[in-house]
């Protein structure tokens, strides 16, 4: 029996066209996400708000908010993959 060709969705047909024919799946580790993170981090550093943000974080850790922050961190860690 001859098989009929698979139908592809519009999304699958167009997925590679925006990237010059490359697959939209970047595999393990997303280069575009890493570039975006690095760009945003550099912009934050250049903004001069690092010291201010660090001071606010230190105050939060030393305040009554500490227990809430610890619970949130524990919750986040409970969902991580090994």
pLDDT tens for residues 23-51? 677 777 889 999 999 999 999 999 999 99
Q: Quote the CA–CA distance of 61 and 68 in Å, as a whole number.
A: 9
Instruction: Tell me what pLDDT residue 42 has.
Output: 97
Instruction: Say what the pTM is.
Output: 0.50
pLDDT tens per residue, range 44-79: 999 999 999 999 999 999 999 999 999 999 999 998
Q: Quote the CA–CA distance of 31 and 22 in Å, as a whole number.
A: 13
DSSP the chain: -PPPPPP--HHHHHHTGGGTT--S---SS-HHHHHHHHHHHHHHHHHT-HHHHHHHHHHHHTSTTHHHHHHHHHHHHHT---
Higher pLDDT, 5 or 76: 76
Instruction: Tell me what pLDDT residue 3 has.
Output: 63
């Amino acid at each position: 029996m001859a098989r009929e060709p698979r139908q592809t969705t519009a999304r699958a047909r167009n997925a590679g066209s925006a990237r010059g024919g490359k697959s939209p799946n970047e595999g393990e580790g997303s280069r575009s996400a890493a570039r975006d993170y690095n760009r945003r981090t550099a912009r934050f550093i250049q903004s001069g708000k690092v010291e201010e943000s660090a001071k606010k974080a230190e105050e939060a850790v030393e305040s009554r908010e500490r227990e809430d922050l610890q619970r949130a961190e524990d919750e986040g860690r409970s969902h991580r993959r090994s």
